[in-house]
Structure 1
């Protein structure tokens, strides 16, 4: 939905991406508005290098576009929303420099604005990456809803940036005000993190997973994926398989190891996730003695950051495997799952299969029957179901 946001620099019309007239979720929240009011009221100079991290739908950089900010985001959807919101408000897209969390950050930052992410690990990684560009006069302001800012959040700012305090809450939002400390001794950035998979999960048992910060279940195998790995389809020969919403790529890597002739496409809207998936795949499929940068000899793979299967040709895929998220930031929604299912139906060839794992209570079998005309229960336990739908 389109929504209007009042800022000290004028009123903006904003929307999420992809835009859906049925979606009642706003493209900004009270913490965005609070941060912008604070900048105006405090007289913060925005004439230098302004960097905005974690701007969920581009509201902050759209408001500050006249100051030519840099946006750093882990989300492809946030990046596309930013482009759309700039156009929607008559702003030249070149007014904002768009970077991802995988890009090299600016050399110098005079104003750092951080919309606190849901993932504490992602915040830790990004603060470590940005800290060398800060100087004694850098203004650092974080923002988030009260329920998103915890003692652990403040400790990260303290440990990586310098002395930190919080503002009073306004409309259930709060600011984090941090002062860069010259000579602060920081521990090394712990990301990416590596761990070994447990036994009993098929061909990837005992294999190494590489997780960049912010990716789901960064330090262990989650129970849903564990169950899925025990019930994956047996792909044949040179089938084209998609690990949709790939996360750290464990599922797609399992397919590649079980069927060396399969072509596996790893897709996620998170730049951190796709980087993790590629690292996990390379770690487990390169030949003995080959360096990590060497091409994998067994099978072939592609790694795509994007909006689901939007960029995948119709009817070009044999199998899609997915564990859809049912949250968008703090909101519970089935919109993402529905888009994944409809995208899979379009991308699958006739006779192609969509395999889904999800919590039992989500009722995915009803959505699959509505969309595909069929849904088969492959496996279940007390919490999860594995479902299969066939493109007729």
Structure 2
């Protein structure tokens, strides 16, 4: 287990779920830079301290030990179920008192007043934009605003968002390939309206009965302004004749795949699941708009199918991610496939779409003992694995 050393103590931190073979730490140089800056400058942390995008809880775990929020509260805002779970585990492991940190999701109302705003720059510029807009009304003239990220994560467009929405912004020198973002609040500013959630019409040639339908995406959801080509390819080859099958849109994003099944298969029962609160909110909004308020479906934010009852589903449809923040990894896909196999009934099927070069057929054969090519083009393949 890796340990983060700060001015307020040393903390054993892990990602979630814990995997001793995972070489990735639960923090990086950007987190260290920000925590070091707060300690060195003696920033007053007694008021309401809000950490946005704290990926695995490194920031709030250290800040809880520093006594942050003593006369206000210490708040984490996250879009990630896995990140929030890791935060709770890391806080408990560090000995933090129960309730020392209020864990909010990106779908929850933010605090009404923020005295220290700490922003870990996310991979999604849209998610950053949305969160800064949502937090701007809580910022006052005395608010300390500091962002952090690796150099490759901070661009001119990133700084423009801080500048336009919150106030004059500058960056620090780079340390260990990380930078800080310093913003002076200008509460008198009136930024443009928050453009999120974003609505767009699916193209006229969209497959599976989706042509021309308008869908909404919350900020940060993959391909927020268009139908991504991998999903489009899967939609062209969905299984049919499902009857009353229990169907899972695993890693659902905005739920377009599950919605297509619901429209084509009126007796199918749908489960939409994703670890992103923004994604599941988008999927539910789209489903209710196009499939109706009375159509039965479940919407779950969680760790994929990790908590699903064994043998409880008939079909799993999956377009797995192959990035964890900036790191390229197939760890998430492997876990999704293994959890899908456990949740499927005997004879149940997992259908996966992925970039051809990822070699998912090898992983599926290792987990299921079989893998069949359903369709392919120069970029993508759709694979089918059956639980024997």
Instruction: Say yes or no: does 1:224 pair with 2:223.
Output: no
After superposition, residues 186-197 of structure 1 pair within 5 angstroms as: 186-197=191-202
Cα RMSD (Å): 0.8
Partner SS for 2:233: helix
Partners in 2 of 1:100 and 1:135 — Cα distance? 22
Q: Answer whether contact 2:273 2:280 (CA < 8 A) is retained.
A: yes
Count of equivalent residues: 381
Match among 372, 379, 386 for residue 375 of structure 2: 379
> CA–CA distance in 1 between the matches of 2:46 and 2:29?
25
| Deviation readout 1:18-53 (Å, 9 max, x if unpaired) | 000000000000000000111111111001000000
Residue number in structure 1 paired with 2:35:
36
Asked whether the equivalents of residues 235 and 262 of structure 1 are also in contact (C-alpha less than 8 Å), the reply is: no
Residue 367 in structure 1 maps to residue 363 in structure 2: yes
Task: Give the Cα–Cα distance (whole angstroms) in 2 for the partners of residues 21 and 5 of structure 1.
Answer: 17
Q: Mind listing any 5+ residue stretches in structure 1 that lack a counterpart?
A: 287-294
Measure the CA separation in 2 of the matches of 1:179 and 1:200: 46
Contact preservation (8 Å) 1:244, 1:322? yes
| d(CA) in 2 for partners of 1:261, 1:92 | 48
Q: Distance in 2 between matches of 1:139 and 1:160?
A: 15
Shift of 1:196: 1.0
The answer to whether 1:332 aligns with 2:354 is: no
1:108 matched to 2:113? The reply is yes
Q: TM-score, normalised by structure 2?
A: 0.97
- Looking at structure 1, the residues matched to 208 and 291 of structure 2 have their Cα atoms a distance apart, in angstroms, of 15
Give the TM-score of the pair, scaled to structure 1: 0.96
**Aligned 1:1-392 pairs, distance under 5 A:** 2-65=1-64, 66-68=67-69, 69-198=74-203, 199-286=205-292, 295=293, 297=294, 299-392=295-388
- Structure 1: which 4+ aligned runs deviate by more than 4 Å? none
Deviations 1:41-78, CA, capped at 9 Å, x for gaps: 11110010000000000000000012241000000000
CA distance in 2, matches of 1:125, 1:200: 28
Contact 1:261/1:300 (CA < 8 Å) preserved in 2? no
8 Å contact kept, 1:83–1:93: no
| Ranges in structure 2 where 5+ consecutive residues have no aligned partner | none
Q: Check the 8 A contact 2:139/2:187 in 1, yes or no.
A: no
Contact conserved, 1:235 with 1:255, CA < 8 A, in 2? no
Aligned counterparts of 2:378 and 2:353: Cα–Cα separation in 1: 13
Q: CA offset at residue 235 of structure 1?
A: 4.3
